[in-house]
Amino acid sequence: MASPSNLETWGRSTVRTACPLDCPDSCTLEVTVEKGRLVKLDGGHLNPVTRGYICAKVRRFGGRVYGEDRLLYPAVRKGPKGQGVFTRVTWDEALNEIARRMQDIRDRWGAEAILPFCYGGSNGLLTQDTNDAALFRGFGTSRLARTVCAAPTGAANQGLYGKMAGVTYQDYVHARLIILWGVNPSASGIHLVPFVREAQKAGAALVVIDPRATPLARQADLHVAPRPGTDLPIALALHRYLFENRLADDRFLAEHTRGAADLRARAAEWTIERAASVAGIEPSALTRLAEMYASTSPALIRCGWGLERNRNGGSAAAAVLALPAVAGKFGVRGGGFSMSNSSAWGIKAAAWMDDTPEPNTRLVNMNHLGRALLEYSDPPVQMLFVYNCNPLATMPDQNRVLEGLKREDLFTVVYEQVFTDTTRYADVVLPATTFLENYDIAKGYGPITLQLVRPVIEPVGESRPNAEVFSELASRLELGDAEQEPETLMRVASRISADVAGPLLEEGAAVPRHEGAPVQFVDVFPLTPDRKIDLFPEALATQGPAGLYGYQPDPATERYPLALISPASEKTVSSTLGELRARPGVLQMHPVDADARGLSQDDPVRVFNDLGEVQCPVGINKDIKPGTVSLSKGLWRRSTYNGSTSNALVPDTLSDLGAGACFNDARVQVALLGRH
């Protein structure tokens, strides 16, 4: 195994590692290092589905590693909060100060006044839920419900299927019909695109359901562009069509499912015409979709995350995931559904976490960060420990998050690679390594693969890996022994079954049986107690104001008639790499909406509602549905004229299932900047 000490630090060498960023693909990387410095990042072949190429953003990752925003040493705040003035300190000083504060806060307020805050920095097994979990559990801090992403789709998949593994990339070619539903792989998982194209070449029909004409929508046989948040009526209309026209697979339903009658009853009111009217689409398009789906096999639905981020998102995902069951699409290669495969390994969190059971301390929904900082009182949040996350850029209701971060009596630690928007509000800043400087175990959630991430350069500045810093802090608080990162790696690996850990450590990758491509209802079955699909799970039946499969109407008003969405951008992963964006974020708007407001290309505009205002240029774009506007997710303050981003307009309402974020459920108005 390579470690920094035995890396070739002189001369030129190419080292194999993997990308653990929060992206489904989990690319194998080949990294060229010369004289200890990263010179080139390229793709490798160990993960076969990533086929030797990587995205442009990670190709440029050196710009983060050596960029001017990189954090090089620990520092403490000097001067008023948010001014961004810090003084360098040693690691000892920084960690002692944090340990002292944690103890003080526990003495005065109780440990639940401390809120650890982490999410998507790395998708690996080592940088989260390991020594950090041991520390915070051991200390008894508040717990974080990590619901910002995939909570509604996850709740739906859990409820219906107990999280069954999905169809993987290499089986797309067997499908005769592919439906990309609320997903844009051209930005968010580029290695899927050639598999879709190959399927099309082999004769598959392609349908895309997205309010934007994404690159694949432009090449599809059918593009259905619903108003955001209306996927539930669309999916229920498909169910109704199947049931009413005797196209439902009654045998499969009887043998493998429960709850079909309840689903059917909920779908009964959604005629094609009614659903089409609510979604703002032609009834003929919906009828065509229904006919195509009913008559084609193998048919594959790729359910993305764009459709979950609204008040109806959980029920929408459940209704979409129920389609292959009702239509009888399982049991053939290339048929069924695909979503996140992160559970496909069956590695339960507890398998690598510290053995101490999770304490029953306060659970804080991360989508309510602003509220938690400003309103929670029993006890109030006195310390926020941010790592693997840039909440000021990525959480809903940005202005409330900002107000909370400005609290003079809040002690905030930000453990980061670069000086993010959130870092500015820190009291103590800790510098983190990047995946080129630390170990990790990358787990794809598209392809089913585990890969070893290894340090290929020495840590830049005084940056240190999560595993080490959290265990050192734990040792200062007498909660365990300090551990070096390779020890944590071996400990985590030892908890994964030997047949997986062996190849992972020796060859750098492990792929499960079925060569990573299980057929649903042949190789994998629902993990529900009776192995049946539960089409109307009791646990979900009454969640949300309208219950499972109950539709909550569009909240648009005359004042705020436009639906704002904020999809993934090819330039960043969430807000990661946002510091390298050269140009401002652009609000995409249909010509019809622009004309109605007298707006021309590149005009500076205000996008506003009662929560906030974003000032940025407008881009007139016929690829977006009229009535919908779009501004990329993950922008930093510096990427708009006034420092606010789309999240300043996103309410912190929760989705119907899973208490997820409603990023695509903002309603706004747009006007020329300077005109009121």
Ligand X SMILES: Nc1nc2c(c(=O)[nH]1)N[C@H]1C(S)=C(S)[C@@H](COP(=O)(O)OP(=O)(O)OC[C@H]3O[C@@H](n4cnc5c(=O)[nH]c(N)nc54)[C@H](O)[C@@H]3O)O[C@H]1N2
Residues engaged in binding ligand SF4 (CB under 6 A): 19, 21, 23, 25-27, 54-55, 58, 190, 573
Lookup: tokens for 354: 């510290």
Q: Is 149 in the site for Mo ion (CB under 5 A)?
A: yes
Site membership for Mo ion, residue 187 (CB under 5 A): no
Total number of residues shown for the chain: 676
Q: Does 338 bind ligand X (CB under 6 A)?
A: no
Closer Cβ to ligand X, 341 or 528, answer by number: 341
Within 385-497, where are the H helices? Answer: 391-394, 398-405, 466-476, 485-494
Choice between 528 and 632, CB closer to ligand X: 632
Residue least distant from ligand X (Cβ) = 306
* Binds ligand X by CB under 6 A, chosen from 43, 116, 120, 619: 120
Q: Which stretch binds ligand X (CB under 6 A): 46-54, 304-312, 319-327, 651-659?
A: 304-312
Looking at residue 182, what DSSP letter applies? S
Of 170-178, 243-251, 386-394, 606-614, the window that binds ligand X (rule: CB under 6 A) is 386-394
Q: What DSSP string describes 236-264?
A: HHHHHHHHHTT-S-HHHHHHHEE-HHHHH
Coil/strand/helix, residue 152: helix
Q: Give the 3-state secondary structure of residue 277.
A: helix
Nearer to ligand SF4 (CB atom), residue 61 or residue 252 = 61
CA dihedral 212, 215, 216, 219 (to 10 degrees): 110
Candidate segments 95-103, 115-123, 354-362, 496-504, binder of ligand X by CB under 6 A = 115-123
- Closest to 593 (Cα-Cα) out of 621, 634, 558, 616: 621
DSSP state string for 319-351: HHHHHHHHHT--SSTT-EEE---TTTT---HHH
Please choose which of Mo ion, ligand X, ligand SF4, none residue 19 contacts, taking the beta carbon within 5 to 8 angstroms, the exact cut-off set by kind. Answer: ligand SF4
Q: Work out how close the CB of 163 gets to ligand SF4 at its nearest, in angstroms, rounded to a whole number.
A: 22
**143-145 and 363-365 beta bridge pairing:** parallel
Element (H, E) at 15: strand 12-18
Name which of 165 and 519 has its Cβ closer to ligand X.
165
Q: How far is CA 458 from CA 122, 162, 271, 326, 436, in A?
A: 19, 42, 61, 54, 8
Distance, CA of 324 to CA of 175 (rounded, Å): 13
State yes or no: residue 127 binds ligand X (CB under 6 A).
yes
Least Å from the CB of residue 440 to ligand SF4 = 12
Quickly count: other Cβ atoms within 10 Å of residue 63's Cβ. Answer: 15
Segment interacting with ligand X (CB under 6 A) among 1-9, 136-144, 205-213, 244-252: 205-213
Q: In whole angstroms, give the CA distance from residue 313 to residue 321.
A: 12
Pick one of 28, 451, 569, 621: the residue that binds ligand X (CB under 6 A): 569
Nearest approach, Cβ of residue 585 and ligand X (Å): 11
Q: Tell me the sheet residues that pair with 451.
A: 442, 509
Kindly state the smallest distance separating residue 279's Cβ from ligand SF4, in Å. Answer: 31
Rounded to a whole number of angstroms, the minimum distance from the CB of residue 266 to ligand X is 19
**Closest of 394, 340, 389 to residue 367, by C-alpha:** 394
Two structure tokens written together for 179: 């439906």
22 binds ligand X (CB under 6 A): yes
Residue 271 contacts which entry, Mo ion, ligand X, ligand SF4, none (Cβ below 5-8 A, type-dependent) = none
Residues that bind ligand X (CB under 6 A): 22-23, 119-122, 127, 148-149, 181-184, 187-189, 209-212, 214, 226, 228-229, 231, 304-307, 309-310, 387-391, 393-394, 415-418, 420, 432, 466, 565-570, 572-576, 633-634, 646-647, 650, 663-664
Residues that bind Mo ion (CB under 5 A): 149
